[in-house]
């Protein structure tokens, strides 16, 4: 029986792979390249999309009939924002890529490599795999080799539907769709300089979080008094001064904003979770997320 199940799984994988190659073999498909660190708002359909390079952002509101490749050519740091009017045959999220899925559909699968940040937004998630049907809430880290995921909004309407395929060690983050409406989406780094985002919830110390700047966004303008991270405000010293400073933590030539929070004030649950930071810059709301392991 076990041998039969393994054979069935192998055949299923072969069939899905064959379908993927067939979908990508349309002879007259048009391909577009997006790079150079620019932001592109895509509203016209095409056959393929190749997104590469630090700071390159593609906001997709169209159909890419065959495949989208993010950081496929070894130039990390590109972002794909996939909205509710977007559709694709496949999405390949390669190492160093950022993929935010707010809605839409993928016909074959979203392929997730290690070293990526893939986030799917919704208020409720239903996953169907070989073991059955599972329901998840925002904040879940999902790692699956082959499962169909449906994301719903707060009214039970479908936001996104597609098959997810993670290589070993890779995962997708399931996050609340309300993060998108929190204003400008920014990059944050919990415990900058550390290879692991581990937080000991029983610690009496502090957790550093960096809000990252880029060529078009100056994180040092962030007002510490408006910041909330996992339910806590920025820590203050004995003189009432906010514990925040400018520092280029990612060595890109732009000063970032580093903020410190008291660990015992954070509202965290044990396990691998997604944490959110919100705040304001010049009256505009910003929000960013990162993944941490809470002990």
pLDDT given at position 204? 86
Residue range 216-254, pLDDT digits in tens: 889 998 888 888 998 889 999 888 889 999 999 999 999
pLDDT band at 16 (very low <50, low <70, confident <90, very high): very low
Residue with tokens 């010049």: 282
Cα 258–Cα 294–Cα 224 angle in degrees, nearest 5: 25
Give Cα 37 distance to the centre of its chain.
Answer: 18
pLDDT over 70 for what percent of the chain? Answer: 87
Structure tokens given for 138: 């925002």
Question: In 75-139, which ranges are E strands?
Answer: 79-82, 87-93, 98-101, 104-112, 117-121, 124-129, 132-136
Domain boundaries, the chain: 2-178, 183-294
- pTM metric for this prediction: 0.56
pLDDT bin (cut points 50, 70, 90) of residue 25 is very low
Q: What is the largest CA-CA distance in the chain?
A: 70
Please state, in angstroms and rounded to a whole number, the distance separating the CA atoms of residues 10 and 15: 9
The architecture in CATH of the region 183-294 reads Sandwich (2.60)
pLDDT confidence of residue 177: 61
Place of tokens 């339910």: 231
What is the per-residue pLDDT for 144? 92
Q: When comparing pLDDT for 151 and 11, which is higher?
A: 151
């Amino acid at each position: 029986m076990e041998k039969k199940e393994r054979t069935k799984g192998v055949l299923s994988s072969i069939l899905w792979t064959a379908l993927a190659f067939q979908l990508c073999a349309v002879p007259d498909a048009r391909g577009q390249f997006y790079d150079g660190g620019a932001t592109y708002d895509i509203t016209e359909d095409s056959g393929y999309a190749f997104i590469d390079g630090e700071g390159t952002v593609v906001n997709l509101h169209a159909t890419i009939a065959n495949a989208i490749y993010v950081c496929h050519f070894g130039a990390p740091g590109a972002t794909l924002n996939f909205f509710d009017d977007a559709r694709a045959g496949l999405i390949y999220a390669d190492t160093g890529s950022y993929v935010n899925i707010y809605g839409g559909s993928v016909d074959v699968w979203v392929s997730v490599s290690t070293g990526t940040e893939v986030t799917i937004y919704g208020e409720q998630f239903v996953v169907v795999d070989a073991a059955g049907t599972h329901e998840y809430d925002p904040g879940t880290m999902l790692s699956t080799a082959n499962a169909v995921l449906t994301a719903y909004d707060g009214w039970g309407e479908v936001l996104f539907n597609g098959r997810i395929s993670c290589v070993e060690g890779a995962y997708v983050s399931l996050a609340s769709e309300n993060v998108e409406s929190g204003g400008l989406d920014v990059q944050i780094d919990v415990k900058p300089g550390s290879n692991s985002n581990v937080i000991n919830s029983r610690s009496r110390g502090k957790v550093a979080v960096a809000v990252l700047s880029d060529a078009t966004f100056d994180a040092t303008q962030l007002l510490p008094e408006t910041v909330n991270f996992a339910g806590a405000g920025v820590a203050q010293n004995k003189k009432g001064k906010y514990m925040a400073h400018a520092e280029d933590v990612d060595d890109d030539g732009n000063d970032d904003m580093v903020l410190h929070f008291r660990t015992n004030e954070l509202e965290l649950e044990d396990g691998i979770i997604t944490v959110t930071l919100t705040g304001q810059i010049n009256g505009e709301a910003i929000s960013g997320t990162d993944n941490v392991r809470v002990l």
